[in-house]
Chain A
């Protein structure tokens, strides 16, 4: 997954990481890096604006938490976010199935 393609789908990726439950910024990025099997190569600091944007859009909510004497912001999926994730996921699967059919690749 190259940088531009990753960026284009970043919102979906962030929402799907949070589907498992509330996580703080560093946690989200770690999961993202692990799940993308090393192809994730965005500057980590540039993920935060995306989180803020999703929060502004009402898809995420966040609150301060205390961790080892530090303040940290923990993000969680809102109902609206969960709905958006479900819709996006379906759309993405349909798109991927279409791509596969056209490219004639191996079955999923």
Chain B
């Protein structure tokens, strides 16, 4: 990974926007694999990174040539026409529903017969059309609505069939629909405007067009903005690929989250939550990201969201397990380098810029690369005077057993300085003595430890401190851990009776 404005990325973005065929997702993955490998061959031959990437792209061919080759394979005309027909179909459904909505609105705002004639006027697109009777208007209105619903339902059935056969647009704004909708709306709007000015009277049919056009524009404008925004923030297009289905789901999540929050109100809240964020790579693989390490970036960004949820819930102590000593020993160099870069860029920088949380570090900084250790120290310094009383501990290069050993070592040194003999120490030592020397000294022990991605282990996390913690395991991979999962964990905590070994 060398930044977001990499040449290959730019090329792939262009390709993504130019391809309007179902296999776009697969084509992009294969193109990326090809380009990366060709670029690697180039750097091996002594070119710089950028030169090698440019050479790879030149060999691969201009975007236009690739698009043309794919279109001709499809039987260009047939594929394009089929796609355009589907797009038109959907636009037609959209317009019928818009007409229905206009009628409904007028029915609700004006009364009876007036509404019917108003609606029949609204939908009288052609200048020469005769006035209709009330009954006819209502019939036409109802048929319009039903036809719209039927068309849309049939459309989704066809899409589902196509998806089963693997012909789906896996990128946002794929296919011809947005283009078609815009063209039809603009053409119809312009035509009506022209007709209006020439007749010097407001054409009622304009209402339907305007409703539909505004609806389409808002839907696609939002989706486009989202995609651009995500791209600008360096996120991949996959996260931005929001469909109507996911939008609907999001609304339901939000409602459900609100209900969960209401249930939690007044319940027992953990003072300190420990979080084992697991599953970044598996999540990335499931999302079809070309590089599973990218999961770490999404995962790291997600920490911010979860901290916000904690803040909202009123939790003052959070410990996040980002990377264990075992990870440092066992993961590949490239992945670790990337992980460290992510920790520096995302976690440390974010936390030093916005000190809503006082940052603490748990772990051995000496095992980390210098730049990472520096970034973490800066975050600690920058948030030292944080007045919110909220503490976040980043467990990075952390191991529970190592922590206990360090604590004992430091306790032994302390007593050695004071001249205590080992026998005296052995007689007087208490759990408090150890706790005082842990990385988390001075903080309450975690009441709740959450682990994502379905693994049911502590994996050397807060070994000493979690002696009496409630454990909560969640199936979701860390980047996909939602607020409702978090609230469910809190609800489960509130429902449990803590016993502290009694």
Q: Are A25 and B33 within 8 A (Cβ)?
A: yes
A48 at the interface (CB under 8 A from B): yes
Q: Are A45 and B32 within 8 A (Cβ)?
A: no
Q: Could you say which residues of chain A place their CB within 8 Å of the CB of B366?
A: none
Number of B interface residues at 8 Å Cβ cutoff, please give it.
29
Bound complex: CA A46 to CA B31 (Å): 10
A49 at the interface (CB under 8 A from B): yes
Chain B, residue nearest A52 (CB): B73
Q: Are A46 and B61 within 8 A (Cβ)?
A: yes
- Nearest CB on A from B124, distance (A): 48
Q: A69-B291, A70-B291, A73-B26 are known contacts. Are A46 and B69 too (CB-CB below 8 A)?
A: yes
A-facing residues in B28-50 (Cβ within 8 Å): 29-34, 36-38
Chain B, residue nearest A53 (CB): B73
Q: Are A52 and B65 within 8 A (Cβ)?
A: no
Query: Which among B27, B37, B293 is the interface contact of A48 at CB below 8 angstroms?
Result: B27
Bound complex: CA A73 to CA B25 (Å): 12
Query: Which among A25, A26, A49 is the interface contact of B70 at CB below 8 angstroms?
Result: A49
Q: Could you say which residues of chain A place their CB within 8 Å of the CB of B130?
A: none
Q: Could you say which residues of chain A place their CB within 8 Å of the CB of B406?
A: none
B161 at the interface (CB under 8 A from A): no
Query: Which among B32, B66, B288, B292 is the interface contact of A43 at CB below 8 angstroms?
Result: B66
Bound complex: CA A15 to CA B49 (Å): 33
Q: Are A26 and B38 within 8 A (Cβ)?
A: yes
- Contact indicator per residue, chain A 54-77, by CB within 8 Å of chain B (1) or not (0): 000000000000010111110000
A-facing residues in B265-316 (Cβ within 8 Å): 288, 290-293
Q: Are B291 and A45 within 8 A (Cβ)?
A: no
Q: Are B27 and A71 within 8 A (Cβ)?
A: no
Q: Are A48 and B65 within 8 A (Cβ)?
A: no
- Nearest CB on B from A68, distance (A): 8
Q: Could you say which residues of chain B place their CB within 8 Å of the CB of A50?
A: 73
B501 at the interface (CB under 8 A from A): no
Chain B, residue nearest A46 (CB): B69
Q: Could you say which residues of chain A place their CB within 8 Å of the CB of B23?
A: 52
A-facing residues in B70-113 (Cβ within 8 Å): 70, 72-73
Q: Are B60 and A44 within 8 A (Cβ)?
A: yes
Q: Are A45 and B26 within 8 A (Cβ)?
A: no
Q: Are B60 and A43 within 8 A (Cβ)?
A: yes
Q: Are A45 and B33 within 8 A (Cβ)?
A: no
Bound complex: CA A73 to CA B37 (Å): 13
Q: A25-B30, A45-B66, A45-B69 are known contacts. Are A70 and B36 too (CB-CB below 8 A)?
A: yes
Chain A, residue nearest B41 (CB): A30
Q: Are B288 and A26 within 8 A (Cβ)?
A: no
Chain A, residue nearest B23 (CB): A52
- Nearest CB on A from B213, distance (A): 36
B62 at the interface (CB under 8 A from A): yes
Chain B, residue nearest A41 (CB): B59
Q: A70-B290, A71-B288 are known contacts. Are A45 and B29 too (CB-CB below 8 A)?
A: no
Q: Could you say which residues of chain A place their CB within 8 Å of the CB of B292?
A: 69
B-facing residues in A7-59 (Cβ within 8 Å): 24-26, 29, 42-46, 48-50, 52-53
Query: Which among B26, B34, B36, B290 is the interface contact of A29 at CB below 8 angstroms?
Result: B34
- Nearest CB on A from B98, distance (A): 38
Q: Could you say which residues of chain A place their CB within 8 Å of the CB of B32?
A: 70
- Nearest CB on A from B65, distance (A): 5
Bound complex: CA A44 to CA B41 (Å): 15
- Nearest CB on B from A57, distance (A): 11
Chain A, residue nearest B38 (CB): A26
Bound complex: CA A67 to CA B34 (Å): 12
Q: A44-B61, A45-B60 are known contacts. Are A73 and B29 too (CB-CB below 8 A)?
A: yes
Q: A24-B33, A49-B72 are known contacts. Are A43 and B62 too (CB-CB below 8 A)?
A: yes
- Nearest CB on A from B38, distance (A): 7
Q: Could you say which residues of chain A place their CB within 8 Å of the CB of B291?
A: 69-70
Chain A, residue nearest B294 (CB): A69
Q: A67-B33, A70-B291 are known contacts. Are A49 and B73 too (CB-CB below 8 A)?
A: yes
Bound complex: CA A26 to CA B32 (Å): 10
- Nearest CB on B from A65, distance (A): 10
Q: Could you say which residues of chain B place their CB within 8 Å of the CB of A53?
A: 73
User: What are 22 A-B interface contacts by the 8 Å CB criterion?
Assistant: A25-B33, A26-B34, A29-B34, A43-B59, A43-B66, A44-B60, A44-B61, A45-B34, A45-B65, A45-B66, A46-B68, A46-B69, A48-B70, A49-B72, A52-B70, A71-B29, A71-B290, A72-B29, A72-B30, A73-B29, A73-B30, A73-B33
* Chain A residues within CB distance 8 Å of chain B: 24-26, 29, 42-46, 48-50, 52-53, 67, 69-73
List 16 extra interface pairs beyond A26-B38, A46-B69, A49-B69, CB under 8 A: A42-B61, A43-B61, A43-B62, A44-B59, A45-B69, A48-B30, A48-B66, A48-B69, A50-B73, A53-B73, A69-B291, A70-B290, A70-B291, A72-B33, A73-B29, A73-B30
* Chain B residues within CB distance 8 Å of chain A: 23, 26-27, 29-34, 36-38, 59-62, 65-66, 68-70, 72-73, 288, 290-293, 335
* 10 tightest Cβ-Cβ pairs between the two chains A and B: A43-B61, A49-B73, A46-B69, A45-B66, A45-B60, A72-B33, A45-B61, A26-B34, A49-B69, A26-B37
